[in-house]
Amino acid sequence: MDQLSLFDEAENECEPELLEDISYTRAKKKQKGKNDIKLDNLKHVKKVYDIDEKDRVCDECGSKLSYVGEEFVRHEVVYEPAKLYVKDIYRKTYECRNCRKKERQ
The amino acid sitting at 31 is Q
**Has residue 29 got a pLDDT over 80?**
no
Residue of 92, 93, 94, 85 lying closest to 65 (CA atoms): 94
Chain centroid to CA 27: 23
Which tops the pLDDT comparison, 95 or 6? 95
Reported in sequence order, the residue ranges of 25-82 that DSSP labels E, i.e. its strands, are 43-49, 65-80
Per-residue pLDDT band for 90 (boundaries 50, 70, 90) equals: very high
Length, in residues, of the chain = 105
Q: What is the pLDDT of residue 34?
A: 59
Q: What is the mean pLDDT of the chain?
A: 81
